[in-house]
Structure 1
Amino acid sequence: MRIGKPEYRDINALLNKKLDEHGVLLAVHRGTSLGNIIENTIPALKAALQLGGDMLEIDVFQSTDGTLYLFHDGAEKRLLQESDNIKTMNSEKIESLTYFNRDYVQTLSKVERLEDVLAYFKGDVLINIDRAWDIWPSLLNMLDRYDMANQIILKGPAVKEQLEFLDQYETKYMFMPIAYSLADIETVLAYPNLNVVGVELIADSANHPLFQDELIARLHQLNLFVWANAITLNDHTVLFGRLDDDTSVKQDPDQGWGKLFDKNIDVIQTDWPALMAAFRERKIGLGKNH
């Protein structure tokens, strides 16, 4: 299966190459943060690749004075011991902060600038940028300077104004909508100039329309990959029918990750890349043809 429209084959070439090589791609949620390594930093992203990840997922926001950084807002208290939302801070304030590690001990690590991350990983690493759809004009202007359209996959909801912006933007960055309904998918596919390469399906149960094998097959027929989230944000939020990291680690990987493979999911987001990479090797090695 070739992903994307023929007119965007050059931009989508690295994605297709990775899918050909691995069958199922592992997207690592905010990198791998263990011990003294902090999420959404270059060390965490390096670790994710060393642990078997194929794609890096990062969160990007803009300071009040226009600088782009990696951080998932809402995590300020946990990671920075700050009560204010980081989006309300200027770059001077942000760069005065240092991270706290998993033992709540202050580290020397600072919030990373996006430009430093792009410069470090320019090459053949796929990068999924999340939570930046409200700043696409600033973000895409920066991305253009780095000539990384073949590496970047933008993620965003099916919002008319944002879709129109991407549809009209000259550089055809790969785009993956977040779909909560069939209507979301139809909305996105109505824009003729979007370089849609896949769809992130959010399904809170096995009965949800977006969980069904027929839909996954239809998306494949449209030359789109299917992304499912194995990440477990908490005990209550269900992202894809509870076929998740918790089920796989606590119980049996065949009951979580294995069922995602069986459903022909193409990209799986995880917090456990090493375990899932080992499982993928066993699963595909047992004759699974994706």
Structure 2
Amino acid sequence: MPVPTLESLRESLQRLLESRRGAPLVIAHRGTPLGSFPDNTLRAAVGALRSGADVIETDVIRSVDGEYFLFHTGFERKLLDEDVDVRTLTAQELEECIFRWNGGPHTPGIERLDTLLDTLPEAWVNIDRSWGLWPHLLDHLTARGDVHRLLLKSPPRDKHLAALAAHPMPFLYFPIVRTREELATVEAIEGINLIGAELLAAEPEDDFADPETVAEVARRHPLVVLNALNLDNNAVLYLRADDAVSVLDDPALGWGRLADVGATAIQTDWPHLLRKFLEEHCG
């Protein structure tokens, strides 16, 4: 495969966006953790793809001996029924972990990032919560040759942005931002292949609650991610236009608002329902 360039990577993203024919991309949060499939597992990723997701979002950790695995730190008690920081475990210990999910034990254990990427070689993957592992993880991903189907994101923190900008591979990247100033700061950094942003707005007076401000971002960048998730910490990610109101009340009040305000990608825990709605809503 030819060495990826900034232009070729952006062309790959553009083909992905065009495949949706004007509808937003569906990003599946940690895969689709339903039934016996815990989140951040290969099973959940396969389930999400078969539910109509365009992109799998996953969280990445590194074992104490330097191997990369799929897990969201802070959920050890919930998912493993253990009071342990998974980042202190070896690769072998991580693989021997047993998920406690929907009332029973489930194996295999915590899975390697490489297993996900090798098993689903055509799938687009958004790697989240990995910025503390840069630049070593960026080296690993570059060596694997998967860069053309990877999306990276992070908060706009100086240390992580500097690591990304200094890396020779122009990874497709978008920051998680709450204000125009945060986005402008990232836009001013040379060496980052900036493709858009995940825009947060908790209250109507927030910057990105204004559709015209969202449109301004869309005029500059192809990827405008809005978030429909209902997180454990009850954070409002975009004006309560979320999965809960979409599933329990009316999808037009949740996902429809996100699409109408200008999202070119929506992150959800319900990819099958979101995909069905978007096919009707966006024609």
TM-score (normalised: structure 1):
0.92
List gaps (5 residues or longer) in structure 1. 1-6, 286-290
- Work out whether 1:196 is the aligned partner of 2:194: yes
**In structure 1, C-alpha distance between the alignment counterparts of 2:235 and 2:177, rounded to whole Å:** 16
**SS of equivalent to 2:212:** helix
- The Cα shift of 1:92 comes to 2.9
Is residue 154–residue 174 contact of structure 1 (8 Å, CA) maintained in 2? yes
Please show how residues 205-244 of structure 1 align to structure 2 within 5 Å.
205-234=203-232, 236-244=234-242
Do the aligned residues in 2 keep the contact of 1:129 with 1:154 (CA within 8 Å)?
Answer: yes
Q: Deviations over 1:179-226 (max 9, x none)?
A: 022221011001122101110111112221122112111112213321
Larger deviation: 63-72 or 202-211? 202-211
Give how far 1:156 is off: 0.7
- Which residue pairs with 1:132 in the alignment? 130
* Amino acid in the other structure paired with 1:149: V
Secondary structure in 2 aligned to 1:150?
helix
Give 5+ residue unaligned stretches, structure 2: none
Q: Which runs of 4+ in 1 moved over 4 A?
A: none
Structure 1 position 235, deviation (Å) = 7.5
What amino acid sits opposite 2:265 in the alignment? V
Q: Deviations over 1:115-156 (max 9, x none)?
A: 111211223x21100000000122111101221111111111
Q: Give yes or no for the alignment of 1:53 onto 2:53.
A: yes
Separation in 2, partners of 1:234, 1:168: 34
Kept in 1, the 8 Å contact 2:135–2:164? The answer is: no
Code of the residue aligned with 1:26 in structure 2: it is: V
- Give the Å deviation of 1:87: 1.5
Distance 2:75 2:137 in 1: 21
The alpha carbon displacement at 1:27 in A equals 0.2
User: What is the match of residue 89 of structure 1?
Assistant: 89
Where in structure 2 are the equivalents of 1:9-24 lying within 5 Å?
9-22=7-20, 23=22, 24=24
* 1:119 paired residue number: 118
TM-score (norm 2): 0.94
Structure 2 residue aligned with 1:260: 258
In the TM superposition, residue 263 of structure 1 has moved relative to its aligned partner by: 0.6
2:268 is the counterpart of 1:270:
yes
Q: Percent identity?
A: 33
AA matched with 1:95: E
> Any residues of structure 2 matched to 1:46-195 within 5 Å, and which?
46-103=46-103, 105-123=104-122, 125-195=123-193
**CA positional deviation for 1:175:** 0.5
